[in-house]
Every structure is written in structure tokens, then in C-alpha cells.
Amino acid sequence: MSGRTRAASVPPIEVSERDATIKIQPQARTDLYNTFRVGGPADYLVRAGTADEIGLALRWAGEHGLPVTIFGGGSNQLVSDRGIRGLVVLVRRPGKDAEAGLEVLEEDDKSVLVRVPASAPSSWFGRTAAERGWAGLAWLVGLPGNVGGAVVNNAGAHGGEISDFLVSVRVVGEDGVLVERDRDWLQPRYRGTRLKYPAHRETIVVVDATFRFAKRSAVELLAEADEYAEYRHRTQPTGACAGSIFKNPDGDYSGRLIEQAGLKGARVGGATVSTMHANFIVNDEKGTAADIIELIRLVQDEVERQTGIRLEPEVERTGDWS
């Protein structure tokens, strides 16, 4: 049996202000919104896709003295079995809706400047860019999560990072005001930015991001995108997992170290180190967050015992881990 606590059915709270209306769901399930499919209920959860909706949600949380947790695609989060205190803001929309928010700001024969909603699926954006002949993000195809999370985590693969093409982001803070910040403000680094590792507790939400791409043949870019997607399908597991569990240490690969330590297939409860790729943990959907975190520690301890290297998690613990 799963250790998840099921949320009770409670009517939503409707909040309106000027041009925005949001519905806040008390005691909402979180396992539906993260790719590990684990976690207890959030005190409150709201879907918010626009700057006005996000600002309204943050102000409501502030007025009620509630902490805020941001969910995008939920692919880099491990939610506690105890759930999440405060308000979860779910910044997400399907690709067909995200396309309506995609703006071409400048374009000439050689390059294009585009703005994309943070709520857009990363894989959709990677394929859309390839279809339009915008070079650089074909490796996003097949990657879980949303553009906002990719920016906050400075997602990367195959030698590239999303910040390589980033020009600016528009963000909303706790005051609900939309502000544009340039790339350097984000302080991008390996698998992170200032928003992933904030120096203070203020909540700042990415609403959209602006990128500049060189132009290339769409046929070539789509071929690259298909190649990356096929590689992921061939080498990485599907199912309830969160992408890479550990960051790569300098000069090596976490997956190689884990496999070398003989940990492929290692299991705790419903959580297993993938036999396809050792830097992935898969939940059989009967597992719990406690199973996953125990397996993460087991892997860290054994790799450190054998190599002296302590692997650093890439996945974030979210919620009440007290």
C-alpha cells in the first residue's frame, strides 16, 4: 500500500481581483502533479498560468500568512508523504494553450527573439523551436517538466544549457508586480540559478522567458530532435520517475559511479534504481517519498564508501520533512 495521505473533498475557494479569478482548492492532492507520483496533500493548491493569476495567488497567500511552493511540471521535486504546508501554485498549461502565449518579438534572416510562457511544456517548446528553424534547444524534446522549471534549474543535456540562449525573464514577486530581469540577474550555474538557491525566503515566480536563437534548417533540427528523443527512449526509464537524481561530480558521471558500485536494481520499498540508467530512481506507484529518500541515501553512502565521492542530489525535497 502507498503511504500517501488522500486529500479530503472540500469545495474550492474562489478569489477575484480586477481581471483575474482563481479557484483555490483546500486539502489538494499533490501526487497528481509530480512525476514521482508521491506526496501527501497540500493545505491549498491553485492553478495559475498568467501574471495576474500568479500575482493574485501570491497576494492571497501573503494576506493569510501562508508559505508558497511553486509547481511547474513537477519533474524535479520529491514531495514529502506529510504533504505541503501553505499554498501550492501550479504554473502549468498544455502545449496547445502555451502556443497561444508564444510571441515572436524580433526576427530577421539570421536570428529570432521569442517569449514563451513558463507554463509551457519543455518538450513541446523544444520541438516547436525545431519546427520553426530556431537552433539550440532540440535536446529539450523528450525532457519532462515546463519551461519555467527548466529556466530555474538551468536544465541542460548533451553539452548545452537553456541559459545559453536566455535573454531575460519576467517574474512576479510577493507584491504581485510583474518585473523583467536579464539573464545575469538569474546567476545561472550548473543545474541551478538564484531562484533555485535563493539567499532569502521571498517567493519569486517566473511568468515567461525570452530567448534568442540563430536560424537553421528546420529539417536538420527536427532530425536532431528525433535523435535526442530516441536516445532518451532507448537509455532512460519511463514511468514514475523524476529525471536525473544526482548532479554529475566534476570530471565524472553519477550514473557511471552508481553502476560501478553495483547499485543498479537496488530497491527500498516501492523505489528502485533503474536498470536502464543508474542515475534514475523509479517508483512502482506503490512507493512513498520515504522509500525514495531512503534509497537516495543508500546510494550516496555506498558510492561514497567505494569512491570517496558524495553525490549531490539534483532532485529537490519539497514539503514537510520534519
Residue 132 C-alpha cell reads as: 520553426
Would you say how long the chain is, in residues? 322
181 a catalytic residue? no
305 a catalytic residue? no
Q: Given the residues 59, 191, 216, 267, select the one marked as catalytic.
A: 191
Q: Given the residues 123, 163, 244, 274, select the one marked as catalytic.
A: 244
Burial class of residue 19 (count of CB atoms within 10 Å of its CB; 0-12, 13-18, 19+): exposed
Cα–Cα distance measured from residue 161 to residue 192, given in angstroms and rounded to the nearest whole number = 10
Please check whether residue 28 is in contact with residue 10, taking contact to mean a CB–CB distance below 8 angstroms. no
314 a catalytic residue? yes
Terminal-to-terminal C-alpha distance of the chain: 22
Provide the β-strand partners of residue 107: 112
Residues with Cβ within 8 Å of 305's Cβ and at least 6 positions away in sequence, in order, are: none
Q: Given the residues 53, 161, 224, 314, select the one marked as catalytic.
A: 314
Site of grid cell 530512481: 281
Please check whether residue 120 is in contact with residue 93, taking contact to mean a CB–CB distance below 8 angstroms. yes
Phi/psi at 75 (nearest 5 deg)? Answer: -95, -5
Query: Which of 55, 232, 205 has the alpha carbon at shortest distance from 126?
Result: 232
Active site residues: 191, 244, 314
